[in-house]
Amino acid sequence: MGTASGPLRALGAVVALGSALMSALAHIFIRKLSQTEPTTAIVFWFIITSALLSLLIIPYGWVLPAPVTLALLIGIGVIGGLGQICLTAAYSHADASVVAPFEYSSMIFAIAIGWSFFGEIPSRTVLSE
């Protein structure tokens, strides 16, 4: 597969920037909410909101996944939920400036897991960006 060029590359950059902005806002909101709300309540409402918003894709060709795929998706959901609980708890115990740098380790973990379990070798682009 080739790399994107021109308008697609610009769109990708804008979407990535938007993602970073939304992520930063979410972290700030989690930090503020964790001062008055329990971790479980924050994560519960995050999961409910995400699930309801995910229903919006149904009219665009959603199909019931195969049982193995469904099991993997459920596993991803459970692991993601546990990760959200840990992140929310971290923000309730430390400032965002302390917690945020640890999130960069997720890229290192993703590369290590991809290599260990799936034999994926990161490309030069992944390592340089």
The pLDDT tens digits of the residues spanning 14-64 come to: 998 998 898 888 888 888 888 899 988 998 998 899 889 989 988 888 888
Is residue 98 assigned to a domain?
no
What is the pLDDT, as a whole number, of residue 8?
A: 78
pTM of the model: 0.68
In this prediction, residue 29 carries a pLDDT of: 87
**Residue 85 covered by a domain:** yes
Domain that holds residue 89: 7-93
pLDDT tops 80 at residue 2: no
Residues 6+ apart with CB under 8 A from 118: none
Residue 114, burial from CB neighbour count under 10 angstroms (0-12, 13-18, 19+): middle
Instruction: Calculate ∠ Cα 28-31-34, nearest 5°.
Output: 145
Q: Give the residue-averaged pLDDT of 67-91.
A: 91
Let me know if residue 104 belongs to a domain: no
Given a cut of 80, whether residue 9 has pLDDT beyond it is: no
How many structural domains are present in the chain? 1
Q: Establish if 124 belongs to a structural domain.
A: no
For residue 53, being part of any structural domain is answered with yes
